[in-house]
Structure 1
């Protein structure tokens, strides 16, 4: 313990090990001391960034902000508003339903080595069209809120003005855009329907090759 004669207050003096468990910035105990992740500081950081982005729609902005402030762990991603010009190599899988693309900046992730958030550049994603979503309603917002772990964020097609969910490739089939139903599909990175179609194609190609020979 020490004493500050100017302010007439006593000070606790902690060992260096104190900062293995408590945040150096705010003094709060880490939610995850192993990775030195502070929920309070991360939420304050997200709040400070609210002024740096907008979808142009208060309902969408409020929903994104609400989901960001629910962050509880460094292991999950951060749901974001993503401007459409951040995507390249956009290719429709199913017309006006799904498209695959490359997100240039990529999602935020917490580097457990550097103890900071970084971006996974050039991340492959699935874009899921939300028809007639120019006028945001509770059904649209509910789909986002209750399945947030499957999405990186929301974007908007500047031509149609429809909103699009930016889906994690780990949850959606790259060939058809449909959501995986089980771990088997996720492991094989293809839904059962697409796997079956691919198998039939291989068999048909083999038959045609045999006929030619």
Structure 2
């Protein structure tokens, strides 16, 4: 107790001495007094008084007080926020040799905070801070060299300063140095060293490094392939708010990627999280979850809501689907004018199905006046785009990511797709051996998506409506929920399909014979 009493008395005497000396314009005492108020040492914490004494000490030439005063003006906790005054005192402190002020002054010049943007002055002060051994400035100087901001682009110097900053413990530099090794920028490509620095950055909670580390484990880059660790770091990155990681994780759960298995509830959770953070593709996928009742209860109103959000944010698939919802009165009231509007938006964004649907609107006068010239224009666009797709494939030497063979058509690898079709044979049947064999043969011989035949179960159709008479039977229109196959998605391990596709149905009167079945079709 006596020791505690003595310590208290000593603090009070020191405190009284600070107060007395501070009034005599002793800048060191004023600075220490400010620190005491700021940290609540020897007195109650008082940020306003801390600011007052930092200001007094700074005006009397105390360099560290100048720096701390800048921070007060920057944060606006001890006084009103004032970036111009923060800049002024950073400049005073930097000119008097404070290395942290040099780095912060450079940041102010770089971002135009409290002064006009000036990249050359930013580079100058980063360089000055580096000369005074500021590790944060080392990383910032490297960024200047990498991007050619305030100086000429120089990847070798960028690498040098990333390495110096990383060796001095700058966590952001860990990630940047890893990227340099991974991409071979300023140094020879070295996946082992890239992996090492990604790991260092990831362990220090860098969400971007965590995603890249997951990719290294997934692809076996710089380390042995390890799907468990890949998933672990992907999950860590997602939990830390990495937008790409969140979306990828949702896709993995949705498609049952490798070790994690299919989990629609978790897929829905992560799609929702990313959709609420304004990711247009996540919005689209969330709409699909609500549409199909995947991972949540089926809710066409919410599906409509998220299609609309995705469409408004530029997702062309959502634009097309939103048009279909307005047309078919799903999740909203029927509105052919809005159907036409969204088909048009999607068509202008080069969505081929929307172009076809827009042509039909002009042809039939749905949501707009009949205009056969415009109908013809959009039908022609569909034809041109299909030709461009084929031309792009054959003249671009596009290779399949899986087998490295040339595509036989736009993103159509017959060799790989044969295997996918064969795996799916057990998942469907027409309950007629000859019809099944006929469809299977067509699938195995298909050199593009247009040659694919599929058996469509009746429960995969909706909005079945009488259309016309044809020959000896009736013709109906309907919406095929899944839609026809477009291509195989290796990332999602499923077929890309043209969802909610309009089809024509024919009621066959005599289909017991296989040959008669084909002749009626």
TM bracket, shorter-chain basis: 0.3 to 0.5
Could you tell me the TM-score, scaled by structure 2's length? 0.21
Relative to total residues, which structure has the larger helix share, 1 or 2?
2
Q: Flag the structure with larger Rg.
A: 2
Could you tell me the TM-score, scaled by structure 1's length? 0.48
Relative to total residues, which structure has the larger strand share, 1 or 2?
1
Higher relative contact order (CA 8 A, sep 6+): 1
